[in-house]
Structure 1
Amino acid sequence: MEDAIVLYPSPAIGHLISMVELGKLILSQNPSFSIEILIATAPYNTGSTTPYINRVSATTPINFHHLPTVSLPLQSSSPHHETLAFDFLRLNNPHVHQALLSISQNFTVHALIIDGFCTPAMSVAADLKIPVYYFQTSGAYCLATFIYLPTIHRNTTKSFKDLNNTYLEIPGVPPILATDMPKPILDRTEKAYENVLNTSIHMPKSAGIIVNTFESLESRVIKTISEGLCVTDGPTPTIYCIGPLIATYDGAGGGDGGKHECLMWLDSQPSRSVVFLCFGSLGLFSKEQLKEIAIGLERSGHRFMWVVRSPPSEDQSRRFLAPPEPDLDSLLPNGFLEGTRGRGLVVKSWAPQVAVLSHDSVGGFVTHCGWNSVLEAVCAGQPMVAWPLYAEQRINRVLLVEELKLALPMTESDYGFVSAAEVEKRVRELMDSEEGKLIRNQAEAKRKEARAAMSEGGSSRAALAELVRNWKGSMS
């Protein structure tokens, strides 16, 4: 029988893209493997996954297995998207079991690779005697924080939200403000906290942890994890840093299937003159916040491209559904679009981010600090302004601002609101100041290191080769 590796991502587009890129990477180095990806059909907004899957299916020999739809019980009313995802993926276990059995009829499955949300599938793989590997879709910095969580949990009875002005001392990383931990785990009485803690306990029990990063980007924390300092109650599995894995878009997406209109607009702008603002597939702002961003951009005097999405729905029954296309005239200040015409472009809902970041006209990136976006910026050599919104993004901000010196921080009020003056200030600093220049130089250095890591003989290639040797060892 042929040999297969099965990948099982949680359904959000960011997780799916990372997992598909991992599958492509494995195939590029080891075309004898068959890559099988399980797709769970989520009852909530996961981003534009269908067009992406269709594109991948048409261009790569990766097999997608769409699992049957699962209905969530009515009591799944948590305010946290993450709780919904955990509940949904737990209910998917019978379908995962059936899919693995089906694949095993034609292939010898040497590994099941899951992300953190798919932890419930570990028991399924154990029943079928399939080794489980975790794929950490965020970086090693975040991995250290999560696998150290059980130790923090044992050492305090307080929730992170109640540890005001307390810094967490986590091996290998700068101190993190307790209230900067991801929102779903700020309250230890919440179901989301219980789910994440459970994942943190299970990750070190896997056959290995694959991380979407590269050694020279996070060398200190990778060394700390590998020395076993983050898991205090048992051995640490081997860590495989095989990144940066980023999606490679061709820049298509225009109405006629050609080049996206925003790329054509960038073609007409001076080199390194445009600030790009984009906040991920789930990053939404209130109408008030959108207006502050607009005023700040206008006052900055700089050229900009800004991807705008509709504010989150106030209708609780629609809070996890995709927002409608934004009505720019009602969301932005009167006269803004006309007043910034020529030097600014507002793009509705989506832009081909990889192509934009690598465009010669773009000279800076205001980002929500999602790890895919961070790696895309690193690979393009773009300096950043860090404006985290959800998930582990506040942890990523600490890494980018304090450790790597790749970003300036966007300063928020106590309520998470950012003023127009702050937007104006950070855009000017990024594009004009000496500090912005230092960050730009550091970004260019990391771009070269990222390329070296993925080249023949690079650290990420070596880690992948070691991982494959382990799988091939299990074949003999």
Structure 2
Amino acid sequence: MITLFISEKVVKTFILIIMKDTIVLYSAIGRGHIFSVVELGKLILTHNPSFSITILIPTPPNTATVDTTTFGCDSSITFRHITISPPPSGTSPFHLVRYGNHNLHQVLQSISKTTKIKAVVLDFMNYTANEVTTTLDIPTFYYYTSGAASLSVLLYYKTIIESKKREQCNYIEIPGFPRILKEELPSYPEELENIFLDLVATMSECNGIIINTFNALEGKTIKALQEGSCFPDESNPAPIFCIGPVMSLPGGEKDENGCLSWLESQPSQSVVLLSFGSLGRFSKTQLTEIAIGLEKSEQRFLWVVRSESDEDSLEDLLPEGFLDRTKEKGMVVRNWAPQVKVLSHDSVGGFVTHCGWNSVLEAIGEGVPMVAWPLYAEQHLNKIALVKEMKIVLALKETENGIVSATELGDRVKELMDSEKGREIRERVLKMKESSVEARSEGGSSYVELNRLIQLWKEKDHLSLLSPNTPLLSNFSG
């Protein structure tokens, strides 16, 4: 009788050979972030079907789990929910997932028992999860769900803070970003500025940054990022992979409010869509200005209304008689419309948008020109790049109290839909639509970059998670 003694290392190596390679994607909280991460997972599989994708979704206390069956994913994409322990009051959204790091650690160990984790891709909002992936020695990448322009500002933020303190300097020069006045940059509280600096330090040391953009749209900024100009303190900055546009295609959205049926009765490219994202809520005063402006513009419109109170009816929120006076030319719906399907409809010829990056890419993907009305987060930076560099939007001006007047909105909508400048913007957006398709087609810039990223993942092997002696991390909050 012959007894074979096989070392633990040999056993692990054999297990790795027969396991399927997995990429783990960790989404941030929020509909826009989750959808973008899901579409990224689908895109990865189109280039390498041999991978499996596991998408992690953070679930804070007293929050319903996301219904993942609505995403239309096949069996190569699986979902796991990461429970977030109750955080202290006032915790920043950037730090929220830290209170799920203990659970993240356990989930990654569980996944590694049946598959080879080639990399973890963190939504940039989840940067504190790096504390887990670094400890477990997993190759860690960041997915920046917005565009290259706002990322260049974020990465350069330490230098920007120093520049803003120099009184003799009116302008701020940021590599790859349009030259701007100091006051054009959004102001943030010191606590958030410190978070940005911490985030940048973490991102700079990761294995790579994936950006949802493409060369034809942001070539100047992408070049600055790839050359390392936006990493002033790094001699060897993280590599950049621009693989966009990553966006949802017209598909499973339900038309609960009858928007598409109404659009069928409208002339080609005659309707302007007004939609401001899930967080784009307005006061009654601002809603009144929008209504008056739309009526004065004499343009057809589809308006998705979100207000500060969900209890008020449209009749309570809008000027008396507005709905009756505009019923031949306009449709107003409460809270939601199937935006991707609406933008793809032949009747839609313009879009008043909050400049959320998903919405911008969806409009470009359908060749729809835009009016920019940024509201929060990086949207103001997106607007600057869209207006000054890409030249595919018209910009709205706010009054000193932050209100967009009826006259301003009406004039910009009319200009977009019925002027020579509006036609020029439409032509540029249509060309950008063609470029977006080319970027993701075989041989295109984003196609090449995604293949480069996948090849990098294929070359990486990861053994540490398979060790039965890897301890759970007791120092993580939650």
Does 2:316 align with 1:330? yes
Question: What residue identity is the alignment partner of 2:243?
Answer: I
Question: For residues 156 and 432 of structure 1, do their structure 2 counterparts lie closer, same or farther at Cα, with a shift above 3 Å needed?
Answer: closer
The higher radius of gyration belongs to: 2
How far the C-alpha of 1:117 sits from its partner, in A, is 1.5
Query: Which residue of 2 is the match for residue 321 of structure 1?
Result: none
Does residue 101 (structure 1) correspond to residue 104 (structure 2)? The answer is no
The equivalent residue for 1:67 is 82
Change (3 A) 1:466 1:72: same
Partner Cα distance (1:60, 1:273) in 2: 41
- Counterpart amino acid of residue 247 in structure 2: I
Contact 1:251 1:352 in 2 (8 A): no
Kept in 2, the 8 Å contact 1:182–1:390? The answer is no
2:298 aligned with 1:301: yes
- Kept in 2, the 8 Å contact 1:125–1:131? The answer is yes
Which secondary structure does the structure 1 equivalent of 2:274 belong to?
Answer: strand
1:423 aligns with 2:409: yes
Name the counterpart of 1:352.
Answer: 338
Please say if 1:262 is aligned against 2:262. Answer: no
2:352/2:373 contact within 8 Å kept: yes
Which residue does 1:397 correspond to in 2? Answer: 383
- Contact 2:393–2:425 under 8 Å retained in 1: yes
CA contact (8 A) 1:326 1:348 kept: no
Maintained 8 Å contact 1:35/1:63: yes
Q: Distance in 2 between matches of 1:283 and 1:432?
A: 26
What does residue 17 of structure 1 align with?
35
1:55 aligns with 2:70: yes
Deviating above 6 A after TM superposition, structure 1's stretches of 4 or more consecutive aligned residues are none
Is contact 1:325–1:348 with CA below 8 Å preserved after alignment? no
Aligned to 2:189: 187
Q: Percentage identity across aligned positions?
A: 48
Residue in 2 that maps onto 1:289:
286
CA distance in 2, matches of 1:117, 1:439: 32
Structure 2: where are the runs of 5+ without partners? 1-18, 463-478
Report the Cα distance in structure 2 between the residues aligned to 1:396 and 1:140, rounded to whole angstroms. 9
Look up the SS of the partner of 1:40 in the other structure. strand
After superposition, give the CA deviation of every residue in 1:396-422 in whole Å (9 maximum; x if it has no partner): 001111111100001101221100000
TM-score (norm 2): 0.88
C-alpha distance 271-336 of structure 1, shift in aligned 2 (>3 A): same
CA distance in structure 2 between the partners assigned to 1:50 and 1:293 by the alignment? 33
Give the CA deviation at 1:195. 1.3
Q: Which amino acid aligns with 2:78?
A: N
Map of 1:232 onto structure 2: 232
Q: Which residue of 1 aligns with 2:145?
A: 137
Q: Which SS does the other structure have where 1:108 is aligned?
A: strand
CA deviations 1:230-268 (Å, max 9, x no partner) are: 11111222111110011124264144xxxx610110011
Distance 1:461 1:439, change over 3 A: same
Change (3 A) 1:57 1:267: closer
Q: Secondary structure at the match of 2:307?
A: coil
The separation in 2 between residues aligned to 1:369 and 1:165, in whole angstroms, is 28
- The corresponding residue for 1:91 is 99
Counterpart position of 2:438: 452
State the distance in 2 between where 1:155 and 1:418 align.
30
1:113 is aligned to 2:129: no
Mapped to 2, the partners of 1:58 and 1:109 lie a distance apart of: 20
Corresponding residue of 2:418: 432
CA–CA separation in structure 1 for the residues paired with 2:52 and 2:357: 27
Deviation at 1:271, TM superposition (A): 0.2
Letter matched to residue 128 of structure 1: L
Matches within 5 A, 1:77-88: 84-88=92-96
Question: What residue identity is the alignment partner of 1:50?
Answer: V
Higher RCO by CA contacts (8 Å cutoff, separation 6 or greater) = 2
CA gap of 1:165–1:363, structure 2 versus 1, over 3 A, is farther
SS state at 2:246 partner: coil
Q: Aligned partner of 2:126: which letter?
A: C
Contact 1:164 1:179 in 2 (8 A): no
Superposed displacement of residue 157, structure 1: 4.9
Q: Secondary structure at the match of 2:152?
A: helix
* TM-aligned CA deviation for residue 178 of structure 1: 3.5
Contact 1:381 1:440 in 2 (8 A): yes
Conserved? CA contact 2:95–2:126, under 8 Å:
no
CA distance in structure 1 between the aligned counterparts of 2:461 and 2:454, rounded to whole angstroms: 11
Give me the whole-angstrom Cα distance separating, in 1, the residues matched to 2:385 and 2:70: 33
One-letter code aligned to 1:208: G
Q: Distance in 2 between matches of 1:281 and 1:465?
A: 33
SS in 2 for 1:223: helix
Q: Which residue of 1 aligns with 2:469?
A: none
Q: Could you tell me which residue of structure 2 aligns to residue 214 of structure 1?
A: 214
2:48 is aligned to 30
Paired residues, number: 443
> Which residue in 2 is equivalent to 1:169?
173
Q: 240-249 vs 332-341, which deviates more?
A: 240-249
Query: Any idea what the Cα deviations from partners look like across 1:408-449, whole Å, max 9, x if unmatched?
Result: 001101221100000110011001111111101101110000
Cα distance in 2 for residues equivalent to 1:209 and 1:154: 25
Give the structure 1 partner of residue 361 of structure 2: 375
Distance 1:129 1:443, change over 3 A: same
TM-score (norm 1): 0.89
Shift of 1:60: 5.4
Contact 2:163/2:172 (8 A) holds in 1: no
1:318 matched residue in structure 2: none
